[in-house]
Structure 1
Amino acid sequence: MAKAIGRAGPQGPLQAGPGADGGGQNARAALLMTLGMAGFAFEDTLLKLLSRAMPTGQVLMIVGLAGMVVFGSWVALRGGGLRPRDLLHRGVLARNLCEAICAICFVTALATGDLSIASAILQALPLLMTLGAALFLSEPVGWRRWLSILAGFAGVLLIVRPGTDAYQPASLLALIAVLALAARDLITRRLPPGIGSGMLTASAFGAMAFAGAVLALLGGQRMMMPDARQAAMLLACVGFGLGGYLAMVIATRIGEIGAIAPFRYSRLIFAILLAMAVFGERPDGWTLAGAGIIAAAGGYAMWREARLRGRPRTASPGGPIPPG
């Protein structure tokens, strides 16, 4: 789902540089990134199908608990320990609040609106990250990336089209979800390096489960026993989500960010194809144009940032990246 774009970053100990064979490693990383994005698109499709048959809060609770158990076990088996005290760090608490808001808004947007529109709006995340880093983290952003941000927001307006017959209220929920994701990732940049990505991911799934419980309680949703088909879909949903996350992490570790960044937008292609095949959606020309603008602008922003981070600096190590 939405938070699967970067559940833990990947940051901290999960991140590493590209391998020694350069192009070969980047090709494998691009393939893994594409497979990861396909996994996320299938996960979103299953979430939409499940939300039609089961209470949304229950779906969030089950998927969140399953992810928390899997990643919590992984962290424990790595030998680093779960360190529950890390969960009380105010940054982690704020991050998990963003996760909870994102989970409720995005899954509700999937349940009540078009998969293709929600997925397209989600692709604005890198642009919001660049904007947030400039406004709140004092990172320099040059005119090229400012133009990409403006272009991306124009693409969002082409998709949402407020005040027209094409407007879907679910689009507003998708926008809130992506804002919550951007806030989550900005908070993650400020967390102490000792708080590992595995722990953050496990706690994020826990926040998702908590959000589901709150949604079910406030909405008066009654829990139901999943039948065999629904249980299989829930299992597949968790599998696609975790598999997509693992592929994304490996891709980020072995490939250069600038080389694999454009392949993040393959998720949008898979989502549109699945929306058409499974739900009979037919995105109009404005929606497709807006999605294309967002993908191009976001891909450029990520490529530009990766290029600037790799540029030799005359300042001291650890100084700010040059604007661009």
Structure 2
Amino acid sequence: MSDNLRGSLAMIISMAAFAVEDALLKFAMQTVPTSIVLMLFGVVGLCLFSGLSVRAREPVLHTAILSPPMLVRSVFELGGRLFFFLALAFSPLSSTTAILQSAPLVVTLGAVLFLGAHVGPRRWVAMGVGFIGVLLILRPTPASFEMASIFAVLATIGFSGRDLATSISPKTMSGNQLGTLGFIVLILAGFVLLPFQGLPSAPMEPLHLAIVAGTTIVGVVAYNTLTLAMRTGDISVVTPFRYSRMLFALVFAVFWFGERPDFLMLAGTILIVGSGLYTLIRSGGKIPSGTKA
């Protein structure tokens, strides 16, 4: 089996695991306050990634966590995680996942605005097409606009800012240390939301605790297989398989949550995925770094 094939399969497995994680989180938040799910998910993830760092005989917390790039990264991750969980709780899974697929376009735009990257006219057109796709899903008209959909847009901005900050973060930080920091931020996001939702009126059932714990394990598998995918084969070949997450999410949305995506939502998804694929292929799966396309 070639490296490209192994990397592509790892990417598909990772995206399937992320889709399972999203579906389980949405299911848990139907009965448990979002703030509690955030904190529990963060605590379990923090324990898992800290354990992986201990196993690798590296510090759990890197000394650079308070450096300017990492502080910026943490602020964007806080917003991204918080709004993503709110989107899962209050918006359809299908539209939330579709809007999040526009992240590569937002990253590209951010790289142009803040990192001095240069992109050619064809990629500007691709970004424009992708954002039209987002508008088709949002439907910003008084008759059909859903306010909760804004959570997915804000989550996309947060995650894109995190990715841009990660690109300039210290290279000495391992994936485990970044994961640990990410779950610490997730716990903080839960505390930010807690005053607005309060504590649950009754103790959590063992099933809900098991779901959150299982979701975290699935998330760790997804994160590690994503890392494996990005380190195996050509990035330009492997990265486009990120969009398989949308297919898995649609399956869960339709058969688990009973969602029925309409024509405009599907058309917007196609525009986002198509423009994102073009952008990723033209950039070799990387954040633009000064070369025109």
TM-score where L is the length of structure 2: 0.94
Unaligned residue ranges in structure 1 (runs of 5+)? 1-22, 310-318
Q: 1:306 to 1:166 in 2, by over 3 A?
A: same
2:123 corresponds to 1:145: yes
Superposed counterparts of 1:4-43, under 5 Å: 24-43=2-21
- In structure 1, the partner of 2:156 is 178
- In structure 2, the partner of 1:254 is 232
- In structure 2, the partner of 1:20 is none
Once the two structures are overlaid, the 10-residue window that deviates more, 83-92 or 145-154, is 83-92
Note the alpha carbon deviations across 1:211-244, whole angstroms, 9 max, x for none: 1122113433437532132122112211221111
| 1:307 shift after superposition | 7.9
Does the 8 Å contact 1:308/1:321 carry over to 2?
no
Give the counterpart of 2:26 among 34, 41, 48.
Answer: 48
Superposed counterparts of 1:97-116, under 5 Å: 97-116=75-94
- In structure 2, the partner of 1:156 is 134
- In structure 2, the partner of 1:9 is none
Once the two structures are overlaid, the 10-residue window that deviates more, 220-229 or 272-281, is 220-229
Note the alpha carbon deviations across 1:80-116, whole angstroms, 9 max, x for none: 3234532222322221121121121111111111000
RMSD between aligned residues: 1.9
Return the letter of the residue paired with 1:33.
Answer: M
Return the letter of the residue paired with 1:98.
Answer: F
- In structure 2, the partner of 1:282 is 260
Superposed counterparts of 1:1-324, under 5 Å: 24-222=2-200, 224-306=202-284, 320-324=289-293
Return the letter of the residue paired with 1:298.
Answer: G
Once the two structures are overlaid, the 10-residue window that deviates more, 51-60 or 91-100, is 91-100
- 2-structure distance, mates of 1:277, 1:164: 30
TM-score where L is the length of structure 1: 0.86
Q: 1:180 to 1:221 in 2, by over 3 A?
A: same
The percentage of counterpart residues that share the same residue type is 35
Does the 8 Å contact 1:152/1:297 carry over to 2?
yes
Return the letter of the residue paired with 2:206.
Answer: A
- In structure 2, the partner of 1:17 is none
Note the alpha carbon deviations across 1:137-156, whole angstroms, 9 max, x for none: 00111112111111100110
- In structure 2, the partner of 1:312 is none
Q: 1:41 to 1:320 in 2, by over 3 A?
A: closer
| 1:197 shift after superposition | 2.9
Does the 8 Å contact 2:15/2:242 carry over to 1?
yes
- 2-structure distance, mates of 1:133, 1:47: 31
Return the letter of the residue paired with 1:279.
Answer: F
Q: 1:220 to 1:303 in 2, by over 3 A?
A: same
- 1-structure distance, mates of 2:281, 2:149: 27
- 2-structure distance, mates of 1:145, 1:244: 29
Does the 8 Å contact 2:61/2:180 carry over to 1?
no
| 1:192 shift after superposition | 2.3
3-state SS, counterpart of residue 144 of structure 2: coil
Does the 8 Å contact 2:62/2:173 carry over to 1?
no
Does the 8 Å contact 1:36/1:245 carry over to 2?
yes
- 2-structure distance, mates of 1:307, 1:54: 37
Q: 1:242 to 1:156 in 2, by over 3 A?
A: same
Does the 8 Å contact 1:55/1:222 carry over to 2?
yes
Return the letter of the residue paired with 2:76.
Answer: C
- In structure 2, the partner of 1:12 is none
Q: 1:320 to 1:154 in 2, by over 3 A?
A: closer
Return the letter of the residue paired with 1:52.
Answer: Q
- 2-structure distance, mates of 1:219, 1:83: 30
- 1-structure distance, mates of 2:194, 2:140: 29
Does the 8 Å contact 2:118/2:290 carry over to 1?
yes
Does the 8 Å contact 2:239/2:285 carry over to 1?
no
- 1-structure distance, mates of 2:58, 2:219: 24
